[in-house]
Homo-oligomer: A and B are copies of this chain.
Amino acid sequence: MTRAGRPRGFVEAQVIGGARDVFWLRGYAASSLRDLTEATGLLPGSIYSSFGGKRDLFVRTLEDYAAGARQAADELRAAAPALPAIRAFLVGAVDAARVSPGRGCMLGNTAVELLPEDDTAREIVRKAFHDLEDGLAAALVNAQQDGEIRSDLDACPHARQLLALVQGLHVTARAEADPHRLVDAVDAALDALRPIV
């Protein structure tokens, strides 16, 4: 086996990361090849020959982001105590809007921008949402076992509620200047789950 040829001048993970930040901030359609070349250091020809074009590069970055979401779900599942971890996950959406305005969650952004017509992206987002929902459900069960929340509640639908809540926080945070109001909303949602004293 000959192993000849010019070596690649880039680290793939860095290119994916740079492109992901562009798509994350601007969305798919509004990200031009020029934006991508500036963010990755690659020229259009290299993007085309190495990844197959803008669309394929986007799918790669979305998969990269979804892998991060799965990791967050695993951390939720393993966290102890569970309730503070759930709260940190929700408040994280509010903090992200403050630290990095205009980005939100790339899964939700993709769902809003191009999910009716794009089956590939839909499947990635659907699976990532399910991973997060499962992680939240496991954390809720752990919290129930530790007496942090009411044990008479069904964990699965509440996990779906919290997933929708965190996606909604990413959306409303874009128009809400005061982060405290959103943290209050998080605490309201979690207080309603606590046992009555």
Contacts and interface: CB of A to CB of B under 8 A. Distances in A.
A160 B175 contact: no
Interface stretch (A5-13, A40-48, A79-87, A100-108): A100-108
A112 B113 contact: yes
Interface string A153-197: 110111011011111110110111100011011111101110010
A115 B102 contact: yes
Interface residues of A, number: 51
A40 to B, nearest CB: 22
Given A153-B192, A191-B153, A111 B175 contact: yes
Interface stretch (A55-63, A70-78, A121-129): A121-129
29 contacts: A27-B112, A102-B115, A108-B171, A111-B171, A111-B172, A111-B175, A112-B174, A116-B174, A122-B175, A126-B176, A129-B172, A129-B176, A153-B188, A154-B188, A158-B188, A158-B189, A160-B184, A160-B188, A164-B165, A164-B168, A164-B185, A165-B165, A166-B168, A167-B172, A171-B171, A189-B189, A192-B192, A192-B193, A196-B196
Interface of A: 27, 29-30, 101-102, 104, 108-109, 111-113, 115-117, 122, 125-126, 129, 150, 153-154, 156-158, 160-161, 163-169, 171-172, 174-177, 181-182, 184-189, 191-193, 196
Contact of A160 (B163, B177, B182, B193): B182
B174 A171 contact: no
